[in-house]
């Protein structure tokens, strides 16, 4: 991937629905979001979705954070990078952007669930500071287990003037 074609990160809008549906098909074997579920996430849920868009408009990845009323824990609800865009740091960039979004909303922790057999995703999350907290048997529709992971979000203290 050249510097000129490096994906731009931006918040999703309802106009991105068709591209998001296609990315779900490209990235997930099962447990995909339906068009209806994606529409809800984009228009009615207490959520934010960030996209990685390549030059020419191709969607290369996305991540969705969910927020609950009266909670300071954000949940990484869905996260994927297109198979053709993996390995170049895009997942890290997208995750850093989502973490910044959570910090800007005053969240103290970010949590997620990840397939136990997805070693690549688990590696990224561990490198980004997430720790496995709980094993979830039979979590996915195909019977695969999951790890629930989380990460504290630390706000750097401001330097005090002397």
For the chain, what are the domain ranges?
A: 3-152
Alpha-carbon distance of 61 to 78, in angstroms, equals 10
* Res. 63 pLDDT band, cuts 50 70 90: very high
DSSP, res 156: P
What pTM value is reported for the model?
A: 0.89
Q: Is the pLDDT of residue 51 over 70?
A: yes
102-151 tens-digit pLDDT? 999 999 999 999 999 999 999 999 999 999 999 999 999 999 999 999 99
- Name the percent of the chain lying above pLDDT 90: 83
Tell me which long-range contacts 113-118 makes (C-beta under 8 A, separation of at least 24). 113/139, 113/146, 113/147, 113/148, 113/149, 114/146, 114/147, 114/149, 115/139, 115/140, 115/144, 115/145, 115/146, 116/144, 116/145, 116/146, 116/147, 117/144
| Cα-based distances in Å from 92 to 19, 36, 61, 85, 128 | 21, 28, 11, 12, 8
Task: Place domain 3-152 in its CATH homologous superfamily.
Answer: Gcn5-related N-acetyltransferase (GNAT) (3.40.630.30)
**Mean pLDDT computed over 72-95:** 95
């Amino acid at each position: 991937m050249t510097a000129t074609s490096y994906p731009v990160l931006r918040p999703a809008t309802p106009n991105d629905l068709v591209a998001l549906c296609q990315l779900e098909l490209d990235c997930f074997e099962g447990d995909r979001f339906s068009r209806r579920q994606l529409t809800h996430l984009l228009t009615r849920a207490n959520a934010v979705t960030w996209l990685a868009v390549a030059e020419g408009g191709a969607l290369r990845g996305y991540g969705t954070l969910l927020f609950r009323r009266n909670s300071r824990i954000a949940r990484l609800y869905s996260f994927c990078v297109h198979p053709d865009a993996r390995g170049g740091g895009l997942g890290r960039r997208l995750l850093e952007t989502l973490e910044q979004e959570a910090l800007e909303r005053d969240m103290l922790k970010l949590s997620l669930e990840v397939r136990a057999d997805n070693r690549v995703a688990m590696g990224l999350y561990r490198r980004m500071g997430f720790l496995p907290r709980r094993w979830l048997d039979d979590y996915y529709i195909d019977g695969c287990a999951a790890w629930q992971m989380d990460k504290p979000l630390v706000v750097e203290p401001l330097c005090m003037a002397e």
